[in-house]
Amino acid sequence: MSDVKKVVLAYSGGLDTSVIVKWLQETYNCEVVTFTADIGQGEEVEPARAKAQALGVKEIYIEDLREEFVRDYVFPMFRANTIYEGEYLLGTSIARPLIAKRLIEIANETGADAISHGATGKGNDQVRFELGGYALKPGVKVIAPWRLWDLTSREKLMAYCEEHKIPVDFSNKKKKSPYSMDANLLHISYEGGILEDPWAEAEEDMWRWSVSPEAAPEQPTYIELTFENGDIVAIDGEALKPHEVLEKLNKVGGDNGIGRLDIVENRYVGMKSRGCYETPGGTIMLRAHRAIESLTLDREEAHLKDQLMPKYAEVIYNGYWWSPERRMLQAAIDETQKNVAGVVRMKLYKGNATVVGRKSEQSLFDESIATFEDDAGAYDQKDAEGFIKLNALRLRIAAGKGRKQS
Amino acid sequence: MSDVKKVVLAYSGGLDTSVIVKWLQETYNCEVVTFTADIGQGEEVEPARAKAQALGVKEIYIEDLREEFVRDYVFPMFRANTIYEGEYLLGTSIARPLIAKRLIEIANETGADAISHGATGKGNDQVRFELGGYALKPGVKVIAPWRLWDLTSREKLMAYCEEHKIPVDFSNKKKKSPYSMDANLLHISYEGGILEDPWAEAEEDMWRWSVSPEAAPEQPTYIELTFENGDIVAIDGEALKPHEVLEKLNKVGGDNGIGRLDIVENRYVGMKSRGCYETPGGTIMLRAHRAIESLTLDREEAHLKDQLMPKYAEVIYNGYWWSPERRMLQAAIDETQKNVAGVVRMKLYKGNATVVGRKSEQSLFDESIATFEDDAGAYDQKDAEGFIKLNALRLRIAAGKGRKQS
Amino acid sequence: MSDVKKVVLAYSGGLDTSVIVKWLQETYNCEVVTFTADIGQGEEVEPARAKAQALGVKEIYIEDLREEFVRDYVFPMFRANTIYEGEYLLGTSIARPLIAKRLIEIANETGADAISHGATGKGNDQVRFELGGYALKPGVKVIAPWRLWDLTSREKLMAYCEEHKIPVDFSNKKKKSPYSMDANLLHISYEGGILEDPWAEAEEDMWRWSVSPEAAPEQPTYIELTFENGDIVAIDGEALKPHEVLEKLNKVGGDNGIGRLDIVENRYVGMKSRGCYETPGGTIMLRAHRAIESLTLDREEAHLKDQLMPKYAEVIYNGYWWSPERRMLQAAIDETQKNVAGVVRMKLYKGNATVVGRKSEQSLFDESIATFEDDAGAYDQKDAEGFIKLNALRLRIAAGKGRKQS
Amino acid sequence: MSDVKKVVLAYSGGLDTSVIVKWLQETYNCEVVTFTADIGQGEEVEPARAKAQALGVKEIYIEDLREEFVRDYVFPMFRANTIYEGEYLLGTSIARPLIAKRLIEIANETGADAISHGATGKGNDQVRFELGGYALKPGVKVIAPWRLWDLTSREKLMAYCEEHKIPVDFSNKKKKSPYSMDANLLHISYEGGILEDPWAEAEEDMWRWSVSPEAAPEQPTYIELTFENGDIVAIDGEALKPHEVLEKLNKVGGDNGIGRLDIVENRYVGMKSRGCYETPGGTIMLRAHRAIESLTLDREEAHLKDQLMPKYAEVIYNGYWWSPERRMLQAAIDETQKNVAGVVRMKLYKGNATVVGRKSEQSLFDESIATFEDDAGAYDQKDAEGFIKLNALRLRIAAGKGRKQS
């Protein structure tokens, strides 16, 4: 074990990270600083203070990062219409860079030389925490207990708790679930348990944030989302802060059975895993953002965005938020969002989030040109002949020289 | 007007193309060959024979192309998970190359020197027909009456009919709709009318192929789709031909309110237009195909497919099916589909097409590695440290040399 | 002919554009404003004034745009290491957007409603001028005489001159060449004549800006180029303005036989054409820029730049400088250039421009890590095992499940 | 140390891999099988037999793989015009997959459970060997002595030799160089020594395969290269096998001072390194291949190839030859090469490899259309107006609605 003086731990207040506090203290004979953030996971963070104190922690950071999280991470990501592998809205991935940044900032403030987290050695989160850590403080030591210790089963963990008098009850709530879960303002995720069989359907009582489409109201809900610079700034005319937008959309989305997802995804560490996700607000946002872009973006920048998106998604999924390539892609994306403004009207009904109208003062939709009626010369149909003939020229030359088409 | 001897016309049997028959005969003093295809538009094609005969046409082609259409065009396109601008399943685009190919083949058979179609000078379809035509027969003459004649209003068209004794009643049915519509086995589309205002919600009675989610059954329908080589070959265990697959999925999808879409899209000719689409079967197929790929594709080939897809979609949307770049992309896509086989289980309910299970003998999902339980050494968590540290190396070096992260 | 009141013409002072002045005056009975720019083509621009006056032109613009040209067009393009089709440095393409911009600005200043140019209907330049014009002033009328008039041969042109008393002698100099040429600070180009046979070798006396490698000095020349923000700011320690940089590099490059190119390229209008180019300074700049980037760019941003470059080159070649997609790509490129600073040492010798050294205070090259000698623990070789094993995991799983490798 | 029964070692016959033979025998108490291949490195491979025997090796594989190497690895790679980071022709990278494949095949033949190589823990080659090994035999054990042992300096290595009576003299030849070198038919590489300072110019006596441009003949050499299916099949009319092509081009290229390269590159393991390369034949091939493609490839497939190339280069550089993504890219590339046939004429002179002519029966160059002279109606210049106006439409609409261009 390397020499560590003080370590900042991403501390949830739950059983696992409480064990880690103790294990770090014991193993490295070092001071532990805990950092607990409210990023909208839906659990109180303040109770983590008493728990940390009980474990002998002297420097305790508890912070409400909800606004920063949505404003500086979720919103920029949604400007790119980001989806990983055609389905996943990156709810877990996008929270990690912020945690990593705060871990490092707190390390700098408290004079800590190491950071630690409770992610396992099989998943993506270890990568995201640590890449962020190294990118922001290259000499930092990283301690990933799950890759190091021998507490590899629930039983051993319990035995450790008993031995070290860590009160187990405070993790009761989470223990009710057979799933490994993670939550923040953008989503809640489920892995493990029966989900490890990709053929098995998820059980209805697993889902926590949304009702089923079957249980959703019989009447649709209509909402109007106002965009500026590619971000939602108001709902039904009411101006809201970024995290308030997402909270409100999560509520109305969840109520209408929107945003459940069940996929098999490819982890950065090389294996496939099956996950279920609830992303009610994000599902609505993505669709609405595409709708306002459909009116306000130029065709070629829109297509270029679509071509760059899978790479951007991969960069975030793999943990490279704090990288030059992410900044480079972000610069391209943000350049396009200046005129992405206007209002999108959506109908929410039993799992469906449907765009039914969109309008914008920045609209590039030109009714006088698009019309099926007389356009008074706005568009000269004869131009199409030259357009087609020159676009066909390379094909005509090739065919004329005997090139085959199969 | 150029010198034309014989022209093959894509003839629907409707009013517009009937007028075109007469106009071609008159304007060019040439013979007209009509070609009418059943590609699943849901209307009888045989009646076109009598109408063509009444217009003096001697060479009349009426063909059932449904199987070829789905097998050689729709299925290859779906192997790429093709979506244009994040939303559109390319239902109109994919039918044009087949029509273009048959027009040219019939021109070759009948000794015609020209082809003609009823698409306007504002849309994408003229481009798709003509690029296909030029690519397959470089010296062909193309006659696009809507870009040439002065019958630019419904009134002028009616006057022409009266003058030339073209029976108007045979277009009654279509006249009932205020929308410009197009249909084939993959979809039905609507443009024009009140849709020209992107803020106006489409009226419920516009939609023809699907019930609304509200009107769909209260009970979900489950189906199992069997894939081989990336294509669906059976539904609920019953082997089906390609077009039978799509017919069946359209039925069950439409019954469950699945596949409605309302978008603003960017046409190749440079304008934005608003369109509504019903693609019940295609919507199910796309999701199912992604699901079976999630189990059977390698991560990097999957990501590369996602990066190529927007380009592939653009190529098809813009009318370049018969092009070297489409063949090049198809070669890459088809190379990946050898092992895309297995079964996907889906739940259809009130507009939602949800994947609830997937299994495959070609699965790359390795439960023994992915498990949250003890993996008996299948995966060594300690490998992750080196993986992360070397992936972080470039970031650590940059940070160590003072590069900033913002 | 549409109604035109006043037209701004891109006027070289040569025979062709002098004929255009007269033809515009006659055909449209309109005023002609001439615009002549020094963009480093190597010919005096001031004589164009008397010629224009002789043709009755009242508003005459003659401008030195060399600095703006290199600073705002050439340098931004070189930040992307831009090459079209693997070979071409885009010397003609990059000059057109500036000309288009000034044509429109002058039209706005003088109240002109049209612009005109002397490019033919077969080439790329018409597209570049006109796309720029439309993008900057959407209602502008564009007059492209070569697509309109019947002066389609040298003989007819001469007859027109005689008839209209246009002095032919002032085009003497250009007439000496059997080639169609174009020049600016970045390059000189040759087309036509014997070059129309791609198998024919260009004649030695065609080349104007460079000596042949054979005729170049027997001793190499070494130069040191200093970069800041991705642009060259000094040569051999002497601070220079952008256009002075290019002038100096053209001189030393041409003296050493550097920068000749002979290619077949694909025009945007659909045909292949053969062109020869001399780009002495650009050839040196490109190589030097890559060299300074090799030291100062992060790997992933460098690779992403390489992946975007062909698209960026295509955008510029096709004439879309004034487009949202170009700005979007530029934003991404420029984001990467903040740290592209340092010195590159090059050896110029008989056609070869070779990088022999590079250094930078922003260097990411870490000798202590890269060394073959003892690195004192800067790099832990054992990390490589985990790195490789996890990168191999997906391949191992696939192989373990029987996937074949061919 | 894991349990190993028999290990196949990539054995050069040099000092380092001879030490590895002994170290493997001692450390694992296992049998060692040596595999030595002639891939054109320019050294006799047969002497490796006696050396291996002297070390007690019983199963000795010595093979001439030159033809397979060029036919199945080098040529397919050159079809893509592959260059890594704008400069590097991937000479080392492309040889590794073949070695990896043979290591595994021999392991299967001899019943070995492990493979081993002499690459260090800092470089790319360890990755390439091992990714190939794992992809082809997922359960194989990999032994990378340089990452494991403590023979980390030349002195320790010598002491080990003395102790184990390994005759040191047989590495004399290589010891003369202060550089780490690697060679095969495609190139020879140099790293280390004074090259570790990127500002230091390589010394003239380092280069082994080419004369300097200064020392090359005063008279140019012309050659004609005949292509079929994208590969060179004849030189100056003489049909040659793939490796004979490369041998001949290396000779003539090296004689004319062609193919030296001095770069800083980004390794997959995360560091920058400086390398010098001589690739005489490859440099000529790349340029010639682009030239024959310029005549025979369609524009859009050529541009798509250029966009895919950097990814393809990265895949090979990083060691993923034996991967689904490489096969997918190869399928796309090979699809385009069917018509890449014809003859390229090149002039070789003092470091310059210049294309001076190209011809092909598959040429898409249409002189009748491209000509500056009268084209007899082959191209209608009036088509260009419609082409430009519709391509400009989106820009005109945006500008008309007040969008700014900066």
* pLDDT score for A170: 52
Distance CA B296, CA B341 (A): 7
What pLDDT digit, counting tens, does each position of B20-37 carry?
A: 999 999 999 999 999 999
Residue D172's pLDDT band (cuts 50, 70, 90): low
**Among chain A residues, CA nearest to C304:** A325
Mean pLDDT of C40-66: 96
Extract the tokens encoding B269: 């000719």
Q: In terms of Cα–Cα distance, which of D137, D292, D271, D146 is closest to D226?
A: D292
Q: B350 to chain A: which residues are within 8 Å by CB?
A: 213, 349-352
Mean pLDDT of D117-136: 97
* pLDDT score for C173: 46
Extents of the domains making up chain A: 6-70+90-164, 180-297+339-359
Residues placed in the known binding site of C: 10-18, 37, 88, 93, 118, 120, 124-125, 128, 180, 189, 265, 277
- How long is chain A? 406
* pLDDT score for A29: 96
Q: Is the dihedral of CA A204, A208, A213, A215 positive or negative?
A: positive
- Answer yes or no: is pLDDT of A21 > 90: yes
**ipTM attached to this prediction:** 0.96
Distance CA A315, CA A336 (A): 20
Distance CA D267, CA D122 (A): 9
Mean pLDDT of B233-260: 98
* pLDDT score for A172: 54
Q: Is D96 a catalytic residue?
A: yes
Distance CA C153, CA C158 (A): 9
Average predicted confidence (pLDDT) for chain D = 95
- Answer yes or no: is pLDDT of D370 > 90: no
- Answer yes or no: is pLDDT of A169 > 70: no
Q: What share of chain D is helix, strand, coil (3-state, %, to 5)?
A: 45, 20, 35
* pLDDT score for B173: 46
Residue B169's pLDDT band (cuts 50, 70, 90): low
Residue B251's pLDDT band (cuts 50, 70, 90): very high
* pLDDT score for B377: 80
Query: Chain B residues with CB-CB distance to C under 8 A?
Result: 298-300, 339, 362-364, 366, 369, 379-380, 382-387, 389-391, 393-395, 397-398, 400-401, 403
Give φ, ψ of C313 to 5 degrees: -60, -45
Extract the tokens encoding C301: 């941003």
What pLDDT digit, counting tens, does each position of D188-228 carry?
A: 999 999 999 999 999 999 999 999 999 999 999 999 999 99
Extract the tokens encoding D2: 């894991």
What pLDDT digit, counting tens, does each position of B186-214 carry?
A: 999 999 999 999 999 999 999 999 999 99
What pLDDT digit, counting tens, does each position of A307-343 carry?
A: 999 999 999 999 999 999 999 999 999 999 999 999 9
Q: A320 to chain C: which residues are within 8 Å by CB?
A: 300
* pLDDT score for A323: 98
Distance CA A259, CA A238 (A): 23
What is the interface size between A and B, counted as CB pairs within 8 Å? 293
Of B269, B328, B397, which is closest to D393 when you measure between CB atoms?
B269
- Chain D nearest CA to B362, separation (Å): 14
Distance CA B164, CA A242 (A): 65
Extract the tokens encoding C98: 């500036």
- Taking only Cα atoms into account, the Rg of chain B, rounded to an integer number of angstroms, comes to 25
**Among chain A residues, CA nearest to D380:** A386
Chains contacting C (3+ CB pairs below 8 angstroms) = A, B, D
Q: In terms of Cα–Cα distance, which of A274, D310, C237, C97 is closest to B370?
A: A274
Task: Output the CA angle A273-A276-A279, nearest 5 degrees.
Answer: 130
Q: Which of A211-215, B157-161, B402-406, C131-135 shows the lowest per-residue confidence on average (mean pLDDT)?
A: B402-406
- Answer yes or no: is pLDDT of A171 > 60: no
Dihedral angle over CA of D321, D323, D327, D328, nearest 10 = -130
Mean pLDDT of D37-55: 96
The single-letter code of the amino acid at C255 is D
Q: How many CB atoms lie within 10 A of CB B244?
A: 16
- Answer yes or no: is pLDDT of A403 > 70: yes
Chains contacting D (3+ CB pairs below 8 angstroms) = A, B, C
Regarding beta strands C188-191 and C180-183, do their DSSP bridges make them parallel or antiparallel, or are they unpaired? antiparallel
Distance CA B146, CA B152 (A): 8
Q: Which of A287-291, C109-113, D171-175, D349-353 shows the lowest per-residue confidence on average (mean pLDDT)?
A: D171-175
What pLDDT digit, counting tens, does each position of C240-275 carry?
A: 999 999 999 999 999 999 999 999 999 999 999 999
SS3 D217: coil
Extract the tokens encoding C115: 């612009």
Contact by Cβ (8 Å): C88, C261: yes
The single-letter code of the amino acid at A241 is K
Of B134, B191, B299, which is closest to A266 when you measure between CB atoms?
B299
- Answer yes or no: is pLDDT of A188 > 60: yes
What pLDDT digit, counting tens, does each position of C216-243 carry?
A: 999 999 999 999 999 999 999 999 999 9
Give one DSSP letter per residue of C74-102, joined into a string. IHHHHTTT--BTTTB--TTGGGHHHHHHH
What pLDDT digit, counting tens, does each position of C363-373 carry?
A: 999 988 888 77
Share above pLDDT 90 across residues of chain D, in percent, rounded to a whole number: 90
What pLDDT digit, counting tens, does each position of C183-218 carry?
A: 999 999 999 999 999 999 999 999 999 999 999 999
Average predicted confidence (pLDDT) for chain C = 95
- Answer yes or no: is pLDDT of B174 > 80: no
Distance CA D67, CA D89 (A): 19
Mean pLDDT of D353-378: 90
A237: left (phi over 0), alpha (psi -120 to 50) or beta: left
Q: Indicate the fold that domain D6-70+90-164 takes in CATH.
A: Rossmann fold (3.40.50)
Share above pLDDT 70 across residues of chain B, in percent, rounded to a whole number: 97
Q: Which of A124-128, B167-171, D386-390 shows the lowest per-residue confidence on average (mean pLDDT)?
A: B167-171
Q: In terms of Cα–Cα distance, which of D41, D51, D49 is closest to D161?
A: D51
* Domain spanning A180-297+339-359, CATH class: alpha beta
Q: How many CB atoms lie within 10 A of CB B377?
A: 7
- Answer yes or no: is pLDDT of C406 > 90: no
Q: B146 to chain A: which residues are within 8 Å by CB?
A: 381
Residues placed in the known binding site of A for ATP: 10-18, 37, 118
List of E strands, A206-359: 221-228, 231-235, 238-239, 260-266, 272-278, 342-349, 352-359
- Taking only Cα atoms into account, the Rg of chain D, rounded to an integer number of angstroms, comes to 25
Contacts (Cβ under 8 Å, ≥6 apart) of B4 = B28, B30, B113, B114, B141, B143
Q: What crossing angle do the helices spanning A96-110 and A125-136 adopt, rounded to 10°?
A: 40
Cross-strand bridge partners of residue B232: B227
* pLDDT score for D169: 67
C386–B382 C-beta distance less than 8 A: yes
- Answer yes or no: is pLDDT of C29 > 60: yes
Distance CA A126, CA A119 (A): 5
Residues placed in the known binding site of A: 10-18, 37, 88, 93, 118, 120, 124-125, 128, 180, 189, 265, 277
